């Protein structure tokens, strides 16, 4: 039996957490692997009247008996992870099936300070030159700088937390500290310019990390664990963070994340071979949103954009920042389905469009770079109680059928509300 993959088909925030949670219960996956990114993700899961916002722990954690893995391709803030685990346990969630790759890299305070300093520097340069900012709009969680130290081969991995030789760990911390202080010139004067704290000494960072030592019980060789599960025929779901168009290779560079968010990245970040992948589910909202800077063909800086933001509660789970909103970009989703080899498409937040007189869908752009729209009649019927396709308004069916046609993937599900039960399955 192969592994299935969940990927975002737009710019993130498509509702992947809800879909993972729902699919784990529906298809009885035994292993869920989060394969990329860090605490910049924000996967919201709602059930039994409770709302859980997961930044690191895979969304399959709510199914008892499921093994949930933070894979090799992730980068982890150990202090944030300790808090997230504690919050789950306090809410009565069983975390005994949680596992962390010994190869995943640690995010340290230095990564976060560098992340913020670079964004401030980009804004400052733009102000001085009176030009548009080149700031990426990162979450400031140190994700990109952590991947940098990983590539520079001076990173510290989760397996190092289990090292009983304190001097070895301190030597690694000291090496990284010198990298930030000297190679990247993050001295006190530079940081004061942006009102940022100076780099904490290695001993202070070590004391902070000590509080995370108790997560050592979760750390193991998850690559081998996942391959063994695949060889034995267990059902595996690979959970992506961010989205195709934020992928470091395939996204709208340089306005991208720092990890491999596509189905190809699922193999890199989980330890599974490409031959293990069976189904790829692409998840897209019924409209488009984006956090941070970067191109956005169908953005509506109008009353419609504000309406979508308010109705859809489009504020970042991780940062709280308002999301940029606009009409559905079919070509964006088509390219994502093609890149990922997605056979199945799940559309979320269709209910947000209820009550609009007219709904627009972009099929591409003209010679001037402007979006080319198709127009669809809206519907007034509330969708939150709908559970079968035939109960959807004809106008909604027509809109979804056109999305399916243009995406090149088969429509497999439609979410019409935030809870686990509010989804229409078509297969």
Hey, which residues are catalytic here? 13, 43
Phi, psi (deg, nearest 5) at residue 18: -60, -40
Q: Which letter does DSSP use for residue 161 in this model?
A: G
Phi, psi (deg, nearest 5) at residue 139: -80, -10
Q: How far apart are CA 121 and CA 124, in angstroms?
A: 5
Q: Please give the radius of gyration of the chain, using alpha carbons only, rounded to the nearest integer.
A: 22
* 176-184: long-range contacts, CB 8 A cutoff, minimum separation 24: 176/108, 176/110, 176/149, 177/110, 177/201, 177/202, 177/205, 179/149, 179/152, 179/154, 180/110, 180/113, 180/114, 184/114
Q: How far apart are CA 6 and CA 24, in angstroms?
A: 11
Q: Which letter does DSSP use for residue 382 in this model?
A: -
Cα-Cα-Cα-Cα dihedral sign, residues 242, 247, 248, 254:
negative
Count other C-beta atoms under 10 Å from residue 364's C-beta. Answer: 14
Q: How far apart are CA 240 and CA 6, in angstroms?
A: 6
């Amino acid at each position: 039996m192969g592994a299935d993959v969940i990927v975002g088909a737009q710019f993130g925030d498509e509702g992947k957490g809800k879909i993972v949670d729902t699919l784990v219960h529906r298809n009885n996956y035994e292993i869920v692997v989060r394969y990329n990114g860090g605490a910049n993700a924000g996967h919201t899961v709602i059930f039994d009247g409770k709302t859980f916002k997961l930044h690191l722990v895979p969304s399959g954690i709510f199914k008892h008996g499921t093994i949930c893995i933070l894979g090799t391709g992730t980068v982890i803030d150990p202090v944030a992870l300790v808090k997230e685990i504690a919050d789950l346990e306090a809410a009565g969630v069983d975390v005994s099936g949680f596992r962390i790759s010994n190869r995943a890299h640690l995010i340290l305070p230095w990564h976060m300070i560098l992340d913020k300093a670079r964004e401030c520097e980009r804004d400052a340069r733009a102000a001085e030159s009176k030009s548009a900012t080149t700031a990426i709009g990162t979450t400031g969680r140190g994700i990109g700088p952590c991947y940098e130290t990983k590539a520079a081969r001076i990173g510290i991995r989760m397996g190092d937390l289990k090292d009983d030789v304190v001097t070895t760990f301190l030597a690694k911390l000291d090496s990284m500290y010198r990298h930030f202080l000297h190679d990247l010139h993050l001295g006190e004067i530079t940081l004061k310019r942006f009102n940022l704290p100076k780099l904490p000494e290695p001993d202070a960072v070590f004391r902070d990390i000590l509080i995370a030592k108790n997560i050592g019980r979760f750390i193991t060789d998850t690559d081998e664990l996942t391959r063994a599960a695949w060889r034995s025929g267990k059902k595996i779901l690979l959970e992506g963070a961010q989205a195709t168009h934020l992928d470091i290779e395939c996204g709208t560079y340089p306005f991208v994340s720092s990890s491999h968010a596509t189905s190809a990245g699922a193999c890199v970040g989980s330890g599974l071979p490409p031959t293990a992948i069976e189904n790829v589910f692409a998840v897209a909202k019924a409209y488009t949103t984006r956090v941070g800077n970067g191109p956005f063909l169908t953005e509506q800086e109008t009353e419609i954009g504000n309406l979508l933001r308010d109705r859809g509660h489009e504020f970042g789970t991780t940062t709280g920042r308002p999301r940029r909103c606009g009409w559905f970009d079919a070509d964006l989703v088509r390219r994502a389905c093609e890149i990922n080899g997605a056979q199945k498409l799940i559309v979320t937040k269709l209910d947000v469009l209820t009550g609009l007189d007219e709904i627009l869908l972009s099929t591409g752009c003209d010679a001037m770079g402007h979006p080319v729209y198709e127009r669809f009649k809206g519907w007034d019927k509330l969708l939150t109680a709908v559970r079968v396709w035939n109960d959807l308004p004809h106008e909604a069916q027509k809109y979804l059928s056109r999305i399916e046609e243009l995406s090149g993937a088969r429509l497999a599900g439609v979410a019409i509300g935030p809870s686990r039960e509010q989804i229409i399955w078509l297969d």
